[in-house]
Structure 1
Amino acid sequence: MMNQNNDNFTEQDGLNINADENVSGTEHLNDPIEETQLNALEAELNESKDKYLRLAAEFDNFRKRTAKERIELFQTAGKDIITDLLDVLDDVDRASKEVEESSDAHLKQGVSLIFNKLKNILQSKGLKAMEAKGVAFDPELHEAITEIPAPTEDLQGKIVDEISKGYYLNDKIIRHAKVVVGK
């Protein structure tokens, strides 16, 4: 008997749970959307998706580019100092060759120790000497000072002498080799 009274109570107050939704004022939700509105919404959605994909790709490219630039910056951070030290390295190399002709063993050993220490420190920072003598001339790597007649047939178009060494810093050229080319 209680159940019947509860059912009557809800029906009398207009709160029938099983009533159709359209009766409660939501009939506008079931109205068909016009075809033009649907097409416009789809076009707007596609445009938003395209903008999102382009923005995501652009951000990814930016992230990769800045990471690459950061790595390059760390690799070449001491480039200016190392470039300035190349002249000192050339002078030490010339001094080492002159000392080799000397008869003083202590002088040879001292200069050799200093030269090797300087060379090892610079190599640990990424400096690498360029091999040029006897190699084919490459204008991307070498700076031709002059051309001379090749002493032998196999040295034509190749480097006969090296005036000053070229150097790489972490596989990037920081100084081109100044060379004499055989013609």
Structure 2
Amino acid sequence: MERELNVNEEANLEEETPVQAEVSEDKEFEDIVNEEDETIRLKDENEKLKNELDTIKDRLLRTASEYENYRKRTAKEKEGIYSDACEDVLKEMLPVLDNLERAMAADGSLEDLKKGIEMTLKQFKDSIDKLGVEEISTQDGFDPNFHEAVMHVQDESFGENQVVEVFLKGYKRGEKVIRYTMVKVAN
């Protein structure tokens, strides 16, 4: 009998009552409606994400374009700065060149030529002073940051690392060395 009850219970479970069927249909309908709502929500979210992506792409393109324009502009400015600097240097040096050409064409005594060359040399030194170029001193002894030792001599009459002779004067502008002083160093 127990077996019969189990079979009957199973039969009752398999057959739905009209109320149960309606509840099941309502549940299926709610599931469909919920799925449609979920689909609509996902479509809205997808559209929102597409808009954000388009905005970010546009911003990236604008940034890349602005960077390219910046790079071109700074390259042009850099070239202009170099041209202006060269022009400033040449404006200072051309009068010296003019005076040297006049000295070559001039007739006169050796003393007059020597005086003209001294005046031109002074003009040239004034020009490089205006450009901020100064001669590197050797009075404080040998400094590898400013001097290049091309010869070394052992002589007790000179102190250690003392510059004995200058072969070629050195120049700097600010702290930047334009040309190192070529020297002979003692001890």
Q: Indicate the structure with greater helix content.
A: 2
* Bigger Rg, structure 1 or 2: 2
TM-score by length of 1: 0.48
